[in-house]
Amino acid sequence: FKVVLESARSDPCIQGGCIKYLKALIRQLKAGKDKDFSKMKIEFQVDNAENYLISVAAEEETHVKMGMWVRKLVCLVPIQIARVENNAMVALKDGLQIPHYISYVDSVSLANSIRFGFYDAVLSSWKGKIKGLGSFERSEQEDMLLSVLNAAVSNLTIFNKKDFHLDKDTESAFSRFQSGINLLKQDKNKSQDNFILKMYDGKVEIVAMAPYNRSEYYKESLRELTETVEDKIYSCYDNGSTFLRDLKLIIAQIAAKDWTSIDSKCVAVIVDILRRNLMSGVHTGCLSANANEELQVFVIFDTQEEIPDSPIVVGDLSCDIKDSGLYLTPSNDSLLSVTIREVLSQLRSSLELVLPRKGRNGEEWHSMFENFLESLTERRQDRVQKWISANSVEFSDNDVVQRLQLEASVALGKGQRGSFEYDLVSEQNGLRKGCCIPIPPFEIDHQGPHVHTKNEDSVHYCDSRCQSCGYFCQLPIDHSGLHDTVHGNMRNVRFISDSEDIEIHDRKYKWGERGEAEMCNMYCRKLGRGHIHLVPCPDSACTNNLYNGSRHATVKYGPDVDIAKDEMTHETYWQCVRFVDPCTEEEREEFGRCNHHCKSEEHETEVGGSDKSYCTEKLWHPPIKRTGQNISSAGYITDDGHHFGCDHSKNVPHHVIFVIDRSGSMQSSDISPTMGKFNDHNSRLGCVYEAILRFIQACLRTVSDDSVSVVLFDTSATVA
């Protein structure tokens, strides 16, 4: 790597000072950034730039392809495509926040507003395959959102840790990634309920790499990483354009917290593109364009293959008139404004270039002109249909009974204890399809029953909703077992508690306020271990006899303290509402355990933020008695019957009490103390005093915080 500096003066002192200064900067860079420069030879030269270009640069010039050089130049400048803040993903336009005047109603319209600056052009023009590569490290929910985005677009993830071991932060990050699994619905690669197997299709290889600030990282790890990308990772996308479209959609879905099927959203994106370009396709045979942009030909979006544009035949002659860019209809569009007179004039001129009107009678020429227009129209219709068919080949033929309108917006939660922003997303409104059988002319009704589709294989979906968020069940109607759905904001829930003030992480509520800012599965995750759900007693009768894992309320829950309520475990609640539990198996097991924790100060003051030590029993377990069978070799049992696995006996101060008999029998001299200071007590009592003193001296040698009390008794007791 050679740096040439232009110097206006040829003073060797000045030139030497510049080189010395630059070398000092390189040394600071090596020391401060922990970068390895062992493979880079850095040279500095101070010279007149014009002289250098003439004498040296001409000999060392290299020839590169301009397009590839521009791509590499653009890729040197990173751009932020999204960011996570306030436990949500924020989509960006050209690296900046999307302007307030750009509105969107769902994730599809949001995806259309996302731009990646020059990278849009780079990815759109890339014809090769795409292999994803990602690296990240972050808050609990932010890690989960990033893990979903990363797994959706990338096959390789680098965890940039600065030490060799998988510490608690990394371990907890993997645990939080598991939370993202329930957001992936209708995934073709579903297998086991494991976030790695499910998010990466089971094709997992974990490799330990040297820290990036060591030479091994550059000499070995990067080489192995390159070989992995080139040899083992299959291509996710056939070209950059498809990758760009899906990347924007995934960012938009996560930003809008739209957890519906990704496959269906891909269909919606394609439908939106087809709809936006349909009128332009009919008018001009091309895709619509923005101002100062050329019209684009019909292509298959996934492969960028062009739809054929064949010549037409008029009479015995072949007219090589391209369909792309040819106006066949008038348009009032600001970019495509053209009148019918202008359209016909252009088409007539095009025909006259092939079939001159001179020498032909009017009737014959007009007949040929009609055939010419008919051929142009048929070709345009055929190309538009091929364009639509080619881009909708993977669409499902199944119709559904209900249409789901998904809307996303940012709402401001205002409560008595404060306000905060939250995402109000994906409200589902069921709309049944009408009858599809047309009414015959001059009739007011058709014969036979009403049907909404003629497709015999259409699927009717269940119309049951989640009681908390109102989301529809995604299973076929009359299905067996529990309902299943993704979940959204808890619009139908109000907070009930045994205290008036409620805190859920950083959000503060009063009892009776709506829970719209929380999401069903995220809410349970925030409440954590041993949380319970409250339901009204049906007809004031406790459900304790109806469900295992439920009991009548043990305290008064407000604000409606007079209404009888039942407490339910997490598992029992989801069985009661007859919906599949949206939380993971590990979380369900955690929720079912007792939430009493050890009160020892060691768990609060331990360096590194040690986790709390919880009772090892199930939630609502009967008190454990301190019997020989129940006392474990590890841990301890509290007075109220909870067992904890931690042991604080080594560090807890003890209070030792000696109760000593000093009656007349203790004055016997059948045994004598050995320490001289007890010569005045040459008796059994003196031996006891000596034993107590030796015990205290032994405790003092261990710097113990134990305390000792002595109780002497004869006809009365005295505390020494």
User: For the residues 304-329, what does the mean pLDDT come to?
Assistant: 80
User: For the residues 317-329, what does the mean pLDDT come to?
Assistant: 80
Q: Rounded to 5 degrees, what are φ and ψ at 8?
A: -75, -20
Amino acid identity at 680:
D
Angle between helices 240-255 and 118-125 in degrees, nearest 10: 130
Q: Which helix (H) or strand (E) holds 411?
A: strand 408-415
Task: Grade residue 581 by pLDDT with cuts at 50, 70 and 90.
Answer: very high
User: For the residues 202-220, what does the mean pLDDT come to?
Assistant: 71
Cis peptide before 559 (omega within 30 of 0): yes
Task: Grade residue 574 by pLDDT with cuts at 50, 70 and 90.
Answer: very high
pLDDT digits (tens, 9 = 90+) for 111-158: 888 888 888 877 777 766 654 444 444 555 666 677 677 777 777 777
d(CA 145, CA 167) in angstroms, rounded, equals 21
Q: Which helix (H) or strand (E) holds 314?
A: strand 312-314
Q: Please give the biggest Cα pair distance in the chain.
A: 155
- Residue-wise over 419-456: b if at least 16 C-beta within 10 A, else e? eeebbbbbbbeeeeeeeeeeeeeeeeeeeeeeebeeee
240 half-sphere exposure, CB direction, 13 A CA radius: 12
Residue for token pair 């354009």: 241
Is 60 exceeded by the pLDDT of residue 108? yes
- Residue-wise over 151-184: b if at least 16 C-beta within 10 A, else e? bbbbbbbbeebeeeeeeeeeeebebbbbbbbbbb
Question: Residue 272 in contact with residue 108, Cβ under 8 Å?
Answer: yes
d(CA 329, CA 475) in angstroms, rounded, equals 46
The pLDDT assigned to 483 comes to 94
Torsion of the alpha carbons at 91, 95, 100 and 106, rounded to the nearest 10? -20
pLDDT digits (tens, 9 = 90+) for 359-418: 777 788 888 888 888 888 888 899 999 999 888 887 765 544 444 444 445 566 666 667
* 52-61, 83-92, 253-262 — most confident range: 83-92
pLDDT digits (tens, 9 = 90+) for 680-716: 888 998 999 999 888 888 887 776 678 888 998 888 8
Considering only residues 39 and 638, tell me which one the structure prediction assigns the higher pLDDT: 638
* 57-61, 137-141, 143-147, 269-273 — most confident range: 269-273
Angle between helices 340-354 and 362-391 in degrees, nearest 10: 110
Torsion of the alpha carbons at 347, 353, 358 and 364, rounded to the nearest 10? -50
What is the rounded average pLDDT for all residues in the chain?
76
Is 70 exceeded by the pLDDT of residue 235? no
DSSP per residue over 442-456, as a string?
T-SS-SS---S-S-T
Q: Rounded to 5 degrees, what are φ and ψ at 178?
A: -60, -30
User: For the residues 46-63, what does the mean pLDDT come to?
Assistant: 59
Query: 37-41, 491-495, 568-572, 713-717: which has the minimum mean pLDDT?
Result: 37-41
d(CA 242, CA 240) in angstroms, rounded, equals 6
236 alpha carbon, distance to own chain's centre = 19
Tokens of 76: 């040197």
Query: Quick one: what percent of the chain has pLDDT higher than 90?
Result: 9
Considering only residues 141 and 570, tell me which one the structure prediction assigns the higher pLDDT: 570
d(CA 360, CA 352) in angstroms, rounded, equals 11
The pLDDT assigned to 405 comes to 46
418 half-sphere exposure, CB direction, 13 A CA radius: 10
First-last CA distance in the chain: 85
Residues 383-388: contacts with CB under 8 Å, at least 24 apart: 383/285, 383/298, 383/307, 383/308, 383/309, 383/323, 384/278, 384/281, 384/282, 384/285, 384/298, 386/298, 386/307, 386/308, 387/281, 387/298, 387/300, 387/307, 388/274, 388/278
User: For the residues 343-372, what does the mean pLDDT come to?
Assistant: 80
Of 483, 451, 453, 452, the closest CA to residue 469 belongs to 483
Considering only residues 529 and 416, tell me which one the structure prediction assigns the higher pLDDT: 529
Question: Residue 285 in contact with residue 323, Cβ under 8 Å?
Answer: yes
The pLDDT assigned to 533 comes to 93
The pLDDT assigned to 191 comes to 42
Burial class (CB in 10 A: 0-12, 13-18, 19+), 97: exposed
The pLDDT assigned to 96 comes to 87
Question: Residue 420 in contact with residue 87, Cβ under 8 Å?
Answer: no
Considering only residues 648 and 131, tell me which one the structure prediction assigns the higher pLDDT: 648
Task: Grade residue 52 by pLDDT with cuts at 50, 70 and 90.
Answer: low
Amino acid identity at 576:
C
Question: Residue 693 in contact with residue 675, Cβ under 8 Å?
Answer: yes
Tokens of 47: 């010279």
User: For the residues 326-355, what does the mean pLDDT come to?
Assistant: 76
Tokens of 278: 């349909």
Is 80 exceeded by the pLDDT of residue 314? no
C-alpha Rg value of the chain to the nearest Å: 39
User: For the residues 653-668, what does the mean pLDDT come to?
Assistant: 87
The pLDDT assigned to 532 comes to 94
* 309-313, 348-352, 630-634, 666-670 — most confident range: 666-670
Of 243, 235, 278, 236, the closest CA to residue 392 belongs to 278
Of 144, 126, 131, the closest CA to residue 71 belongs to 126
Residue for token pair 């050329």: 294
Query: 29-43, 126-140, 578-592, 601-615: which has the minimum mean pLDDT?
Result: 126-140
Is 70 exceeded by the pLDDT of residue 605? no
Task: Grade residue 628 by pLDDT with cuts at 50, 70 and 90.
Answer: low
Amino acid identity at 18:
C
Of 104, 6, 103, 16, the closest CA to residue 52 belongs to 6
d(CA 668, CA 684) in angstroms, rounded, equals 6
DSSP per residue over 105-161, as a string?
SSHHHHHHH-B-THHHHHHHH--S-B---EE----HHHHHHHHHHHHHH-S-EE---
Burial class (CB in 10 A: 0-12, 13-18, 19+), 6: exposed
